Every structure is written in C-alpha cells, then in structure tokens.
Amino acid sequence: MALPTRDVVGVLSDNMRMRGSVLPVPARRASRWARRLGLPMGGPTVLYTGLMYQIIPYIGSLSRLQARVAASPLARFGGLARLANRASRGYGLALVARPSRQEQAELDRVPGNVVRLLRAAGVDVGYLYEDDLYTGALAYDLGSDEVVASHARRVAAAFARHGVREVITIDPHTTNMLRSVYPKLVEGYDVRVRSYLEVLAEHAGEARAPSAGRAVVHDSCVFARYEGVLDQPRRLLAAAGVEVLEPLQSGRHTWCCGGPAESLYPEKAAAVAGERVAQLSAVARDCVTMCPICLVSLRQACGARLAVRDISEYLLDARRSQAGVGVST
C-alpha cells in the first residue's frame, strides 16, 4: 500500500513553506565543507550548491523510511505524519531520516571537488554559507508554485545583499531553477547562471591527461533536455583521459534514473532505475553521473554491477595524476 500522494506532497510543501526546503538540514552542517576551504563570503561570482548534494542522501533515507511505513498498518495514517511534521520544532521529520555517515561524507565532498577544479582553472569564487539555500526544485516539480515563488524572492534578495552578479552551480536541478525558472518567478531577476561544467569547458585547453580508463556516461535529463548541457561533460572527461562510452540511450535521448519519483513512489523509481542500470552495465562497469539524484538512484539499484561516481571525482582524479599540477586536496 503506497502512502497517500496528498499527504506526502503535503509534508514536502509544508517543509518548503515553514522551513525553506523540502527536506531541511541544519545550515551549518550543509556549509561546513566551505569553511574548510576558506571561501570568502559573497562577492560578484559565487558557487551556489542549492544544497542538492547535501540534501539528497536524506531524501533517499526518507523514502526508505516511507517504504517501511507503507508496508505497515501505519500506512492508513499518512495524514498524521503531516500533522506531526507541522507541529515538530526545528527540522521536522528530516532528521528522523538520517543517512549513513559514509553516504553523507561522499556527497558532501562534491562541492569541495568543484572549488578545487575551478581554482585549478583560474576561477575564484565566493560562497554564501547560511544563505546558500535550497532553490525549491522538488516543490516546483510538484506544482507548489506560490510557495516556490515566495522562496525564490528570498534567494534573489540574498544575491542582491551579497553583491552577486554571477552564480556557478553544480547540479542540473539548481542550474535549471536559477537559470530558467527564477526569471519567471522573480521580477527584475538578473543573475548570470552557469554550471561549473560549462565554466570548466570554457577554460579547458587542448591538453590531454594520460589514459584513465573507460566509463559509461549517464546524462541527467535536466542537463540534457532542459539546459542543453551535453557536450561539455564529454569534452572534460576526454581531456581527463577518460574514454567516454555511450549507453543505449544517451545525450538528448537519455533514460531517466527514476529518482524524481523517489519521494512519492519509491517502487516505481526503483523499476526505472533498474532498467537504466541494465543499459549502463551492458556497456561498462564504471559509470559517470553529474547529478546527485542520479548518483543515489543508480547506486541503490545497481548492486555490484556498476561503480557509479560523480563526474567531479573523475575530473579531480585526472588533475591529481598530472605531475606538476597544483590541486590541493
């Protein structure tokens, strides 16, 4: 028995309205990676994570919790979960669904990877720390436009307060929200938005790293079909010495990882992820993703058939293996 759609959507919308994120995590915890790198606060160009890599492990844990509740007699009382979430102080149900320390540590590492890659390319960025807010991507997908519009104005005000004119993003969903959705929601919004893959591709020279093996690339639907980011990751991987292999469906015709259905229908999400794992594992054992949702979804479905890693890990490995290139770790 699945939990009622109305109640699960209600919990996510309430969180967005009350706590500024569908699944809030403490701001200090979400930005601790930046303190270690000594990133300056604000400035004309900032890296904006939208907390996606930090939040996604919680979504995975919440859906596993949800699957256990759905299989129990508690499924009949989904409305109570919404009431409990509304009434609870602090972070609501988010902290009940705490992910494993290892999973969290790996995804927390990605923003730091990106800063190191940008620095190596000569691009310095600031950071907004507690003002690096979730953009509302999932709430927007669910149709909570009014709640997201209000939140978007808060994000735009933070950009203005910190003198931000250009934002460099990491994941496709934050890129899409800030670049293609916010201009429709916030009057006068005028911020240049590029993903770090686009920025790195602009700065990439002709140099090629020594061969670093082969890997199958899994395009994010949002990068491929919403934002047109297709060529950049392939060029960067090739420059990093990775032989890029294409699965049965790739590029503009990429196959979804199933992740967008995870928070409401985990079983359907798992079925789609399983199909994608079959396509990817038919080509190679190593797989590159560029979205935290894809990473977690494919990992949950692949078992030992695939080794799935974020593209930033591949790119940083290549930098580290090149003698004389100073990338601090």
Partner 1 sequence: MSTVVTSVLADELAVLGGFDAGVCMNCGVCTAACPLGLDLLPRRLLRHALLGMAERVQGESEAIFSCLLCRACEANCPAGVHIAEDVRLLRRWLLGKFEEAQ
- Only one of the segments 39-47, 60-68, 100-108, 141-149 lies at the binding site for partner 1 (rule: CB under 8 A); that segment is 141-149
- Only one of the segments 62-70, 188-196, 204-212, 254-262 lies at the binding site for partner 1 (rule: CB under 8 A); that segment is 254-262
Amino acid at 211: S
Token reading at 262: 């995870």
- 9 touches partner 1 by CB under 8 A: yes
- 272 touches partner 1 by CB under 8 A: yes
Q: What is the DSSP letter of 209?
A: P
- 275 touches partner 1 by CB under 8 A: yes
- Only one of the segments 47-55, 69-77, 117-125, 221-229 lies at the binding site for partner 1 (rule: CB under 8 A); that segment is 221-229
**Radius of gyration of the chain measured on its C-alpha atoms:** 19
Chain-centroid distance, C-alpha 116: 18
- Find residue 244's DSSP bridge partners: 215
Q: Quick one: 6 or 35, whose CB is closer to partner 1?
A: 6
| Binding residue for partner 1, selected from 221, 295, 301, 318, defined by CB under 8 A | 221
- 217 touches partner 1 by CB under 8 A: no
- 229 touches partner 1 by CB under 8 A: no
- Find residue 243's DSSP bridge partners: 214
Computed from CA positions of residues 277, 278, 281, 283, in that sequence, does the dihedral angle turn out positive or negative? negative
d(C-alpha 148, C-alpha 127), whole Å: 22
Q: Nearest-CA neighbor of 312 among 193, 205, 168?
A: 168
| Binding residue for partner 1, selected from 3, 11, 13, 177, defined by CB under 8 A | 13
Q: What is the DSSP letter of 220?
A: -
Shortest distance (Å) from residue 235 CB to partner 1? 22
- Only one of the segments 1-9, 85-93, 229-237, 301-309 lies at the binding site for partner 1 (rule: CB under 8 A); that segment is 1-9
d(C-alpha 148, C-alpha 154), whole Å: 10
- Contacts with partner 1, residue ranges (CB under 8 A): 2, 5-6, 9-10, 13, 140-145, 221, 225-226, 252-256, 258, 260-261, 264-265, 268, 272, 275
